[in-house]
Amino acid sequence: MTPIERARTFIRWIRNKLTRKQFIIFSSVLVGVSVGLAAVALKMFSHFIFLVASFYNEWNYKFYFLLMPVIGIFLTVVVVQKFLKGKLEKGISHIHYNIAKNSSLVPREQMYAQILTSSLTVGFGGSAGLEAPIVVTGAAFGSNYGKTYHLNYQERTLLLACGVAAGIGAAFNAPIAGVLCALEILLLDISISAFAPLIIASAVGALISKIILQDEGILLSFESKVLFDYRNVPFYILLGLLTGLISVYYSHVFLKTETLIGKSSMNIYLKAIVGGLLLSLLMAFFPTLFGEGYESIKTLFADKPEELLKKYGLDTPDIVAAAEKAMARKKA
């Protein structure tokens, strides 16, 4: 008997010993552990690919980093076409569809497909985030766990949400945010009793990520150094309105661009190359688009913009002087 078969036999034995609610709590722990490990794998794999891809770039990083996204996007398309049979569920909309139309059953290959493809894209510097991939991966873990142990639709949906919460909790080291994001993203109408499994799964996922990756695994980590001032509330409101408008603009342009490229008669591999080149062109003007972007945000938050200039080969005397002058004005 293989270790996986032994684990399944043990879980079935546990299920026979516990009530249905107790088994859901027990299952939320297992889903949290699994998704936490998946989030760690996604983060470490993308980082490993970046280290391998940039191994020879020290001599001329300024130009080399522009070619990396083209390679990453092309390899991602190859993996999807050759190993995933051209099927890859991207975005949260597919999770909504599976909940509403497919009895909360997420295809099993989504448990690893997002880890492979997103790691290649982001690892090679593609301007994409790891949040949606870990959400889809977490949903797949929770859904397939429920399918394996013959849970009903409501229970599968709850464990699917537990997977989403655990993924967000592991990615941001924020268990409460994981629960809130799961409820907001999936738009679920659940009972109060369902909060316990969600909180447990999210906390376990965050704990697994924290233990293995320490502070390196936290995408955004900072402490508030300014006390709340009610006089700043209008600025918070204005910031919310502006970011909301930018979000709408982004969604609109994204969908339009996706539709335009989808209607193109170009070969899919040629589309990948063209898309990679367009991204590289944008990076030539906005180097911080390279990768998922969180390191750039952390660097800016630490008041060290000169590190970004040096990283992307833009540390010319004029630009550095302008950056130092801007920082001096800010501190004054």
Concatenated DSSP letters for 116-143?
A: HHHHHHHHTT-S--SHHHHHHHHHHHHH
CA torsion, ordered 154, 160, 164, 166, to nearest 10 deg? 100
Contact by Cβ (8 Å): 103, 151: no
Please report where in the chains the tokens 């799964």 appear, as a residue: 201
Both tokens assigned to 168 = 């967000």
Cα dihedral across residues 26, 31, 33, 34: positive or negative: positive
What is the reported pLDDT for 228? Answer: 76
Helices 20-53 and 110-123: angle between axes, nearest 10 degrees: 30
Contact by Cβ (8 Å): 291, 125: yes
Q: How far is CA 163 from CA 29, 166, 278, 326, in A?
A: 10, 5, 34, 44
Q: How far is CA 26 from CA 40, 165, 240, 242, 306, in A?
A: 22, 16, 39, 43, 49
- Burial of 321 from C-beta contacts in 10 A (0-12 / 13-18 / 19+): exposed
Pairwise CA distance, residues 287 & 2, whole Å: 48
Pairwise CA distance, residues 306 & 311, whole Å: 9
**Domain 3-217 bears CATH identifier 1.10.3080.10:** yes
Residues 6 or more apart whose CB falls under 8 angstroms from that of 309 comprise: 315, 319, 320, 323
Contact by Cβ (8 Å): 271, 261: yes
Contact by Cβ (8 Å): 121, 128: yes
What is the reported pLDDT for 215? Answer: 62
- Where do the domains of the chain lie? 3-217, 238-331
Alpha helices in the chain (DSSP H): 3-17, 20-53, 61-82, 93-101, 110-123, 131-148, 153-172, 175-186, 195-213, 233-263, 268-285, 294-301, 305-311, 317-331
Query: 183-232, pLDDT tens digit by residue?
Result: 877 766 666 777 889 999 999 999 998 888 876 555 555 555 667 788 88
Concatenated DSSP letters for 5-36?
A: HHHHHHHHHHHHHS-HHHHHHHHHHHHHHHHH
Planar angle of CA 21, 201, 224, nearest 5 degrees:
140
Mean pLDDT (the chain, rounded): 81
- Residues of the chain under the 50 pLDDT cut: 59
